[in-house]
Protein backbone atom coordinates (compact mmCIF):
# COMPACT_ATOMS: atom_id res chain seq x y z
CA UNK A 1 0.00 0.00 0.00
CA UNK A 2 2.73 2.48 0.96
CA UNK A 3 4.96 1.57 -1.99
CA UNK A 4 2.10 2.29 -4.40
CA UNK A 5 1.50 5.61 -2.68
CA UNK A 6 5.15 6.56 -3.14
CA UNK A 7 4.95 5.84 -6.87
CA UNK A 8 1.75 7.81 -7.26
CA UNK A 9 3.18 10.73 -5.33
CA UNK A 10 6.27 10.84 -7.53
CA UNK A 11 4.27 10.88 -10.79
CA UNK A 12 1.39 13.21 -9.86
CA UNK A 13 1.15 16.94 -9.55
CA UNK A 14 1.13 18.56 -6.10
CA UNK A 15 -2.67 18.96 -6.27
CA UNK A 16 -3.14 15.27 -7.10
CA UNK A 17 -0.78 14.29 -4.30
CA UNK A 18 -2.69 16.45 -1.85
CA UNK A 19 -6.01 14.92 -2.93
CA UNK A 20 -4.52 11.43 -2.64
CA UNK A 21 -3.21 12.16 0.85
CA UNK A 22 -6.59 13.55 1.95
CA UNK A 23 -8.38 10.48 0.57
CA UNK A 24 -5.95 8.19 2.38
CA UNK A 25 -6.41 10.19 5.60
CA UNK A 26 -10.19 9.82 5.28
CA UNK A 27 -9.79 6.08 4.70
CA UNK A 28 -7.57 5.76 7.76
CA UNK A 29 -10.01 7.78 9.87
CA UNK A 30 -12.86 5.50 8.77
CA UNK A 31 -10.72 2.43 9.48
CA UNK A 32 -9.86 3.76 12.95
CA UNK A 33 -13.56 4.38 13.68
CA UNK A 34 -14.38 0.82 12.68
CA UNK A 35 -11.59 -0.52 14.90
CA UNK A 36 -12.83 1.58 17.82
CA UNK A 37 -16.37 0.23 17.37
CA UNK A 38 -15.07 -3.33 17.16
CA UNK A 39 -12.98 -2.84 20.30
CA UNK A 40 -15.95 -1.38 22.17
CA UNK A 41 -18.11 -4.31 21.11
CA UNK A 42 -15.49 -6.83 22.21
CA UNK A 43 -15.08 -5.08 25.56
CA UNK A 44 -18.85 -5.26 26.08
CA UNK A 45 -18.77 -8.97 25.22
CA UNK A 46 -15.94 -9.55 27.71
CA UNK A 47 -17.94 -7.77 30.41
CA UNK A 48 -20.96 -9.93 29.62
CA UNK A 49 -18.88 -13.12 29.67
CA UNK A 50 -17.36 -12.07 32.99
CA UNK A 51 -20.82 -11.59 34.48
CA UNK A 52 -21.92 -14.96 33.13
CA UNK A 53 -18.91 -16.62 34.78
CA UNK A 54 -19.80 -14.97 38.10
CA UNK A 55 -23.38 -16.26 37.72
CA UNK A 56 -22.15 -19.77 36.88
CA UNK A 57 -19.88 -19.82 39.94
CA UNK A 58 -22.74 -18.61 42.16
CA UNK A 59 -25.00 -21.32 40.74
CA UNK A 60 -22.36 -23.99 41.27
CA UNK A 61 -21.93 -22.89 44.90
CA UNK A 62 -25.70 -22.91 45.46
CA UNK A 63 -26.08 -26.34 43.86
CA UNK A 64 -23.27 -27.77 45.99
CA UNK A 65 -24.87 -26.39 49.15
CA UNK A 66 -28.29 -27.81 48.22
CA UNK A 67 -26.76 -31.15 47.30
CA UNK A 68 -25.07 -31.31 50.68
CA UNK A 69 -28.36 -30.51 52.43
CA UNK A 70 -30.24 -33.11 50.40
CA UNK A 71 -27.57 -35.73 51.05
CA UNK A 72 -27.74 -35.18 54.80
CA UNK A 73 -31.51 -35.65 54.73
CA UNK A 74 -31.58 -38.47 52.20
CA UNK A 75 -28.75 -40.67 53.51
CA UNK A 76 -30.49 -41.70 56.77
CA UNK A 77 -33.71 -42.42 54.86
CA UNK A 78 -31.87 -44.59 52.33
CA UNK A 79 -30.04 -46.46 55.07
CA UNK A 80 -33.30 -47.22 56.89
CA UNK A 81 -35.03 -48.21 53.66
CA UNK A 82 -32.34 -50.58 52.45
CA UNK A 83 -31.72 -52.14 55.88
CA UNK A 84 -35.37 -53.00 56.33
CA UNK A 85 -35.55 -54.94 53.06
CA UNK A 86 -33.95 -58.25 52.34
CA UNK A 87 -32.29 -58.62 48.98
CA UNK A 88 -31.24 -61.81 47.28
CA UNK A 89 -27.58 -62.67 47.46
CA UNK A 90 -25.71 -61.66 44.37
CA UNK A 91 -22.38 -60.41 43.19
CA UNK A 92 -23.06 -56.88 44.43
CA UNK A 93 -24.02 -57.95 47.96
CA UNK A 94 -21.35 -60.58 48.17
CA UNK A 95 -18.68 -58.07 47.15
CA UNK A 96 -19.75 -55.64 49.90
CA UNK A 97 -19.69 -58.27 52.66
Distance of CA 7 to the CA centre of its chain: 46
| Low-confidence winner among 31-35, 59-63, 79-83 (lowest mean pLDDT) | 79-83
* More confident of the two residues 4 and 54: 54
Nearest CA among 5, 41, 3 for reference residue 25: 5
State the pLDDT at residue 78: 79
Reply yes or no on whether the pLDDT at 32 is more than 70: yes
State the pLDDT at residue 7: 56
Q: Give per-residue burial for 55-84: e unless 16+ CB within 10 Å, then b.
A: eeeeeeeeeeeeeeeeeeeeeeeeeeeeee
Reply yes or no on whether the pLDDT at 92 is more than 60: no
Contact 8, 20 (CB under 8 A): yes
Reply yes or no on whether the pLDDT at 42 is more than 60: yes
Report, as an integer, the average pLDDT of 40-59: 96
State the pLDDT at residue 43: 97
Amino acid sequence: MWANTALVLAADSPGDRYASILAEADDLAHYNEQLAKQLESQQAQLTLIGQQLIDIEATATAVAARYGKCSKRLNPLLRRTFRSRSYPAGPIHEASE
